[in-house]
Amino acid sequence: MSSLQVTQIEYVYGKYEEANLLPILKMLETEIGGKRKPYGMRGGAIDLVTFLEIVISFVAGVAIRPVISKYFEGFFNADALKKLGEKHRQQIINWSTKLQDDIEIIIKAFERAYKTTVPITFQGKPEAVAICIHLGLSSFHIVLNHENVSPKLMRNLPKGVILALRYLAESSIPKDATALQLYFDKTSHSWKYLFMPTPQAFGRWIDRYVDLDTGQVVRITSQKEFIDKFKPSDNDQYKFLVDPFREVANKT
């Protein structure tokens, strides 16, 4: 059993897939612990189709000290953080470091365990394995089995998760951003895009994202623009919050 420091794990999946998932579940439980949380029916408005969600929450009393809790709930902005005392700033840095270490352990365990499972598909396309972090009213998703994810991208993922969480903590994100997804740049091998679709995007295309390198919020005006920018693999059709290939995407 590995020593996760500030996180706890639940495995969320359909009861009907448990037999197929047993090898990967047993390996993950052995390496990082966690509890199974099967559900009876698939539901929800997003197009992301997962056969397994690794749900991360923070350990009460260890990770969620008052100042850190406020930090990750977005009560502090960049200027407010500068005014914190050195003790509190160091507390946040230490916590972030432990969280990054935990995510690295989880990802390495996933890479080993994923080799033990059989492909699971929906309408002929592979389903996703995703990390899901609940942030109050928002959910933050990271798909681990994108077709074009390289070993280098997987090594860089913990850093990308922390970068995204810091952005969410320090920025005033729109209240309508209830579903978020971290995505990668194949050229730089970094996880630098945070998809933040508006409510109007669902059923059409992902219409808003953040460039985490610059902090710039960018709007996308068409399905074609999204595909040209991010070049999603056809096999990854059901690994996005909004299906980038759906036929109705350009209708208003």
pLDDT, tens digit (0-9, with 9 covering 90-100), for 54-86: 999 888 666 666 777 777 777 777 677 777 788
Task: Check residues 43 and 36 and name the one with the higher pLDDT.
Answer: 36
The per-residue pLDDT for 250 is 45
Mean pLDDT of 108-134: 92
CA distances to 140, 150, 223 from 229, rounded to whole Å, are 21, 19, 10
Between CA 209 and CA 222 the distance in angstroms is: 13
Task: Check residues 42 and 145 and name the one with the higher pLDDT.
Answer: 145
The per-residue pLDDT for 249 is 41
Mean pLDDT of 159-167: 91
Residues in the chain: 252
Kindly indicate the confidence band of residue 88, based on its pLDDT and cuts at 50, 70 and 90: confident
The per-residue pLDDT for 137 is 72
Give percent above pLDDT 70 in the chain. Answer: 92
Kindly indicate the confidence band of residue 106, based on its pLDDT and cuts at 50, 70 and 90: very high
Task: Check residues 31 and 251 and name the one with the higher pLDDT.
Answer: 31
pTM of the model: 0.90
The per-residue pLDDT for 170 is 81
Q: What is the pLDDT of residues 173-210, one digit of tens each?
A: 788 888 999 999 999 999 999 999 999 998 899 999 99
The per-residue pLDDT for 41 is 76
Between CA 116 and CA 84 the distance in angstroms is: 47
Range from 47-51, 92-96, 238-242 carrying the lowest mean pLDDT: 92-96
Residues in Cβ contact with 240 at an 8 Å cutoff, skipping those fewer than 6 apart: 47, 48, 143, 181, 195, 206, 232
